[in-house]
Amino acid sequence: MPSTAPKIAAGLGWSLEKFLPQSAVPRRGRLALSGLRGEVLSFQAVYRSDRRGMLRATLSGPLAPCTTARRIDLAHCEHPTYGVPPEELVALCPAFIPDPLIPAEEFPAWPGQTRGIWFTVAVPPDAPAGRSRLTIRLSCGEHRVADLAVDVRVIGAALPKQELKVIHWFHNDCLQSWYKFAAWSPEHWRMAEKYLRNAAEHGVNTITTPVFTPPLDTAVGTERPTMQLVDVEVVGKDRYRFGFRKFDRWVDLCRRCGMTDFEISHLSTQWGAKFAPKVIAKVGGESRRIFGWDTPSDGPAYRAFLLQFLPELVKALRRKKALRSAYLHVSDEPHLDHLPQYRAVREILKQGAPELPVVEALSNIEFYETGLADLPCPATNHVQPFLDRKVSPLWTYYCCGQRVGVSNRFHDFPSARNRILGWQLFKFRYQGFLHWGYNHWYAGLTDTLVDPYTCADGRRLLPPGDGYVVYPGPDGPVDALRWEVWREGLQDLRALQLLERLAGETPAQKTAALLRLSAIRNMAVYPRSMNWLLAQREAVNRAIAGLAVAT
């Protein structure tokens, strides 16, 4: 490196900002954050250099030992979120958008590019209340680049346990394909544990449990890799024996990783409930497929199978003390014209396992009104009729179809539109949230791997980033920036719940932060600015601090 000092501009950014390579560097040398005990706080250091080099970040202060730094890499987004006005996007694709957060000790500087470092502060559960300063010195070789400071106020109250049930579909087959191990091999269990722990750390507490290979996002007539926890043996005509050894191990592992509830994989195909999922069984000592696309879901063969399997599943759940924390699915996203077929399968499930409720991603209230879905989970842009009728308990979800107006977390969406969901979940009293894409790294409707670092849209089928919130790292998950912001939204929800409990019957002026939620009118009308979110969360923290002292 030349002996003359490089010219590097550096500043601090909020977690809700996305700095593209062409963005200006913020002129902030100081930030002020606050958080509860047990909360994870995030911010960025952003820099731009006139030459190539490597930066280091040296931290000091009481919270330095619980602060990590990661390199913010760029996602390659060729395909924009479709049907959205350009002014609502942070970039017009194709573009490079910050998202993968790579563990690193040095951070590259490229001439003429704005890059960043993502810092997370895991506030210890026993952290003393009060203010402290976290200082960040950036250096390049022997040259000091910048001294930055973040003032952190720890509120003297703990972030409460999450009550919201959260599902993100956990794709074991994508792990198998990416890391190239055999299904349910020791390597599979080891890697699954790392991803399960990551999911739990970000608020997932209800886990996909593939009793049979999930019949999801698969083109008709094709198959995805077999992912089946329950062993099946054919012992006679329409007679079966079931083994739950792998299922039991899955339940135990998921609980160790922080999961509390179990989402049994769908028992008929997506978008219509017409066919059975792929089921592999031992027949005469050999493994073969006995059900699949050629099996009507309400036909006599599959009906006989389910009526033997479901009581055994109930026994296994009862044995694992999980019966009250398990849910069934019939078919993902059924429409009104699927209602008769859906009803036929639902009646089989009700006969075989009356103890287990059905939670379903759907958009028509008729499925709830006719008693077919115990826990309806309408999309955020179709939920209003359910809210108007005060349906409870009520879940919600979003995916590729929820683009206009409502919250979502695509690469090219502002981060505030990701985080606002936590406030909406609180205001409208949802009991659950579902998303399909924790780690879906396949091209759309196939089992063909894509590299999520360079293909964000499932080969031009999806809005960028819709299918995943973690990237495959060399030995475990790599967080997305969007995944960290999602966690912030859930932390906001938990803080609001704490404030509500502390406030009790106190005068309204003590809970003014809660009254400001009137700005959130519905799932599509809400404040869009980063500053609103930051200011309201600070108001919540101040109110909690005052009430905590008073009590």
- Tell me: the pLDDT tens digits for 34-44? 999 999 999 99
Count: domains in the chain? 1
The CATH number that applies at residue 13 is 2.60.40.10
Task: Tell me, yes or no, whether 68 lies in a domain.
Answer: yes
pTM (predicted TM-score): 0.98
Residue 506: its pLDDT value, please? 63
Q: Which residue stretches of the chain have pLDDT < 50? A: 1-2, 509
Residue 1: its pLDDT value, please? 44
Q: Amino acid identity, residue 363?
A: S
Residue 509: its pLDDT value, please? 47
Residue pair 311/352 in contact (Cβ under 8 Å)? The answer is yes
Task: Tell me, yes or no, whether 69 lies in a domain.
Answer: yes
Task: Tell me, yes or no, whether 342 lies in a domain.
Answer: no
Q: Buried b / exposed e across 227-240, counting CB within 10 Å, b at 16+?
A: bbbbbbebeeeeeb
Residue 548: its pLDDT value, please? 86
For the CA atoms of 359, 361, 363, 369, what is the dihedral angle to 10 degrees? -10
DSSP codes joined into one string, 234-251: EEETTEEEEE-HHHHHHH
Give whole-number Cα distances, 179 to 57, 325, 477, 540, in Å: 32, 31, 12, 43
Task: Tell me, yes or no, whether 187 lies in a domain.
Answer: no
Task: Tell me, yes or no, whether 136 lies in a domain.
Answer: yes
Task: Tell me, yes or no, whether 453 lies in a domain.
Answer: no
Query: Which residue range is the domain that position 62 belongs to?
Result: 8-158
Q: Which two tokens stand for residue 323?
A: 């019966």
Residue 232: its pLDDT value, please? 99
Give the tens place of pLDDT for each residue, 64-73.
Answer: 999 999 999 9
